[in-house]
Chain A
Amino acid sequence: MTLLIARKELTEMVRDGRFRVSGAIVFTLLAGALLLGWQNYREVNAQHTAAQQASRAQWLNQGKKNPHSAAHYGVYAFKPKMPLSLVDHGTDSYTGVAVWLEAHKQNEFKYRPAQDATAVQRFGELTGATVLQLLVPLLIVLLSFNAFSGERELGTLRQLLSLGVSQSQLATGKALGVAASLGLLLVPAALIGSLAITAASGQGDIMASLPRVGWMALSYLLYFGAFVGVSLAVSAWAPSSRAALIILLGFWMVNGLIAPRAASDLAKVLKPSPSAFDFDQQMQLALAKGSDGHEAGARAKMLETELLKKYKVDKAEALPVNMLGVRLQDSENHGNEIFDQSYAALWDTFSQQNRVHQLVALVAPGLAIRSLSMGFAGTDFPQHTHFATAAEEYRRTIQRTMNDELTYQAPNTGAPYMANNDLWQKVSPFQYRAPSATWVAGQQAPSLGIVGVWFAGSALMAAWAARRVQVY
């Protein structure tokens, strides 16, 4: 019986001009956004690959040079774009795409598209995620706000219930009908998206992308299901179709437009994060003061004393190691402690802000699906920090390699020391392995839980409201 109801709902919707027009608009925007995303992904990825190769070539071909000069010469690490980022750009526009890895500094990421965006662009860009998170729920509202109230107003609800159709069968049939109508739009769009992702992925990468695609699809299905459930519940409960529409549009607006802004503002008030300028100033101050309370000069003196004692010699020139190399590595080690503390504190603040977002998501599931979408697209903040950590590890490896060269190969006489290409070759190219879908799912467990609870809760709410639906 539920399938009969679903089939009738689908037939009616397909014949309804409003559905055809709104569906065509949503489909066109979604397909367009996916194709634009694919084009953007292809271009940006090609640029990153070319730039990464150029940076590596520059490193290898820098010629004879003192290792510490080479450490300052540095290399760039480009954050790879994942194929699913064509669906959701996430925080990439704000976190930056490349970092310069040099001596003494853990630099901030550069090249943030948001910095170059116009005011209009900042208002919102058309991505697959925008369509899926804002327009598809709006379409669900428009398709189902009168599912029960419309039947009641039309008088067909009496007709249906007089035939011995139960309210729960009616609710399930209507939910399936709305789902089938959405399927008419989303299945072709998903095929376009799959083709785009396949085209965007290299051979083998597509298999790596599949688990993320699966998780993302599951997340969106749960979210859309929650919207269908809420819409049916409100339609059954509201006194009229107009009231149902107003309530549902209000929910859509609060969930999709107001809650994200409000959550960000609330998070900043409750867990304030420093400005980029303040963060840099504080870190510079900490570097100057030293993690152990000793300034750089004093610490160098202490280190020299320790080494003289260790090797039982009375002057630096007599040491079996190059004092400059030792000092530079010590400075790196000291800086690394400061960087780790500073970034850990900063990222902890961001993580606390994220928890505020998750709390708000309990009443506005749009925040949870945003987080899930970015997460499985590989464009959320935890994955940015995952990459930043890997890049920083690579920077430290370069510094250690350069400083070890100085320490153990450079003469201790103060004479200039030049290394050649053999040393540069010792530094392997930067290779980043993005975290697995399971890792992301673990990170996103609270958001997954919230969307799951909304899905189950809205289904129960719809069943409860349908059982109490009044025929008048």
Chain B
Amino acid sequence: MLQTHNLSKSYDGKVALHPLNLNIQPGEIFCLLGANGAGKTTTINLFLNFIQPSSGSATIGGLDVTQKPLESKKLLAYIPEQVMLYKNLTGLENLKYFTSLTGAEHSAGQLAGFLEEAGLARPDADQRVGAYSKGMRQKVGIAIAIAKKARALLLDEPTSGLDPKASNEFSAVLKKLSASGSAILMATHDLFRAKETGTRVGIMKHGHLVASYATAELGHADLERIYLEHMQD
């Protein structure tokens, strides 16, 4: 579902991402680990077609994101570190707006159901988002993905700054989405969350994908040790 073929990106001769080959299948949660500047967000931005690749290609559901930008995005949901919403609209109105833009039509009841599924129940959903916490905004972001029935999710540090309870709830929703057949690529610093949520983890360093493991093969301590070893090189 989410694939890259020798995808790379350079800025003025400085390589941000060395040729990367990824293949994330439906039902898979691939967690990209790495320090700041390792190339995680660059990979996500390339999938989103926010930046142009220097070489190679990224495809979503077989659609090249540079050739079919609008079509490929229809398969996709994106949840950034901070889901930013329109503060003068309520959570429900924000959800309605964003899902309407995808061409989907949902009743108010259905939309409220998506928010509830994401963990945001009424009356919070009817409050203007100006007063929302980060966790509540993230839940609206997940609700957008649920409503859109996205076949692929790109998550960029989505649990950064969330309290443990909110992080747990977030992970649970991701697992549900994955179980329903979505392919998920999540960039994160959170080793624990990657091990708990992901089906595979990849470690990035200086724009290279230096290692990739199935999380079932590793314990928490193993992952931490491997990660730190790679970071020390």
Binding site for B on A (CB under 8 A): 1, 4-5, 8, 11-12, 15-16, 154-156, 158-166, 471
Q: Is the CB of B73 within 8 A of A163?
A: yes
Binding site for A on B (CB under 8 A): 48, 50, 69-71, 73-74, 76-78, 80, 82-86, 88-89, 93, 97-98, 100-103, 148, 154
In the bound complex, residues from chain B placing their C-beta under 8 Å from that of A15 are: 88-89
Picked from B69, B97, B103, the residue with its CB within 8 Å of the CB of A8 is B97
Cβ of A141 to closest chain B Cβ, rounded Å: 20
Q: Is the CB of B98 within 8 A of A159?
A: yes
Q: Is the CB of B48 within 8 A of A161?
A: yes
A158 to B74, CA, bound (A): 14
In the bound complex, residues from chain A placing their C-beta under 8 Å from that of B80 are: 155, 158-159
In the bound complex, residues from chain B placing their C-beta under 8 Å from that of A162 are: 48, 73, 76-78, 154
In the bound complex, residues from chain B placing their C-beta under 8 Å from that of A471 are: 50
Q: Is the CB of B101 within 8 A of A1?
A: yes
Picked from B86, B101, B154, the residue with its CB within 8 Å of the CB of A163 is B101
In the bound complex, residues from chain B placing their C-beta under 8 Å from that of A156 are: 84-86
In the bound complex, residues from chain B placing their C-beta under 8 Å from that of A155 are: 80, 82, 84
Cβ of A5 to closest chain B Cβ, rounded Å: 7
Q: A158-B80, A162-B73, A164-B74 are in contact. Are A8 and B102 (CB under 8 A)?
A: no
A194 to B149, CA, bound (A): 51
A471 to B52, CA, bound (A): 13
In the bound complex, residues from chain A placing their C-beta under 8 Å from that of B48 are: 158, 161-162
In the bound complex, residues from chain A placing their C-beta under 8 Å from that of B77 are: 162
In the bound complex, residues from chain A placing their C-beta under 8 Å from that of B85 are: 156, 159
Closest 3 CB pairs of A and B: A155-B84, A164-B73, A162-B78
- Chain B residue with minimal CB distance to A5? B101
Cβ of B150 to closest chain A Cβ, rounded Å: 10
Cβ of B19 to closest chain A Cβ, rounded Å: 24
Cβ of A310 to closest chain B Cβ, rounded Å: 90
Q: Is the CB of A154 within 8 A of B84?
A: yes
Picked from A5, A12, A165, the residue with its CB within 8 Å of the CB of B89 is A12
- Between A4, A12, A159, the greatest number of chain B beta carbons within 10 A of the residue's beta carbon is seen for A159
A166 to B101, CA, bound (A): 10
In the bound complex, residues from chain A placing their C-beta under 8 Å from that of B82 are: 155
In the bound complex, residues from chain B placing their C-beta under 8 Å from that of A8 are: 86, 89, 97
- Chain B residue with minimal CB distance to A162? B78
Q: List 9 A-B contacts (CB under 8 A).
A: A4-B97, A11-B89, A155-B80, A155-B82, A159-B84, A161-B50, A162-B154, A163-B101, A164-B101
Cβ of A4 to closest chain B Cβ, rounded Å: 5
Q: Is the CB of A163 within 8 A of B98?
A: yes
In the bound complex, residues from chain A placing their C-beta under 8 Å from that of B78 are: 158-159, 162
A342 to B217, CA, bound (A): 102
Cβ of A2 to closest chain B Cβ, rounded Å: 10
In the bound complex, residues from chain B placing their C-beta under 8 Å from that of A161 are: 48, 50, 73
A155 to B138, CA, bound (A): 13
A266 to B84, CA, bound (A): 50
- Chain A residue with minimal CB distance to B75? A164
